C-alpha cells in the first residue's frame, strides 16, 4: 500500500494534547514553534499546516 499523505511531525506548545506515532516536538514559545515548523517543512519537503495556534503538523502530500 502506498500512503499518499502522511503526518511527518507534530509541533506543539502543549505536549499533553497530542500523542501517537509521528515524532512530536514540544516547544516553549510561539516563535520557537514557528521556526521549528519552518525548518521541518524545508527538511522534509512537506507542508506546515496549522491546526490551532499552538499545534502545527508537517504533512507530506
Partner 1 sequence: MNEYTVPIIFGVLVGTITRMLMLRTDYRQYPTYLHGKIIHISLGFIAASLGSLIVPAILEKEYTAVTLLTVAATQFRDVRNMERNTLNEIDGYELVSRGKTYIEGIAISFESRNYLVILTAFVVTMVYILSNIYLAAVAGIICIIVSKILMSGSTLKDIVEIEYHELHFEGAGLYVDNIYIMNIGLPERQEEIRKYGMGFVLKPMDMNTVSTIANLGQRQAILHDVSISLGVFRDSGTPALTPLIKRDLDDGRIGVFILPQVRDIAKAKEIIGSVPVLESAIKMPSKSKSHNRKEH
45 makes contact with partner 1 (CB under 8 A): yes
41 makes contact with partner 1 (CB under 8 A): yes
- Report the distance separating Cα 38 and Cα 4, nearest Å: 22
Helix (H) or strand (E) holding 43: helix 30-44
- Taking residues 21 to 40 in sequence order and writing x for each that binds partner 1 by CB under 8 A, - otherwise, the string is -------------x--xx--
**Minimum distance from CB of 12 to partner 1 (Å)?**
12
Q: Where are the beta strands (DSSP E) in 1-61?
A: 6-12, 24-26, 47-52, 55-60
47 makes contact with partner 1 (CB under 8 A): yes
Amino acid at each position: 500500500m502506498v500512503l499518499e499523505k502522511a503526518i511527518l511531525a507534530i509541533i506543539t506548545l502543549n505536549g499533553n494534547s497530542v500523542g501517537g506515532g509521528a515524532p512530536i516536538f514540544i516547544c516553549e514559545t510561539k516563535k520557537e514553534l514557528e521556526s521549528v515548523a519552518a525548518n521541518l517543512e524545508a527538511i522534509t519537503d512537506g507542508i506546515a499546516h496549522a491546526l490551532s495556534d499552538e499545534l502545527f503538523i508537517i504533512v507530506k502530500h
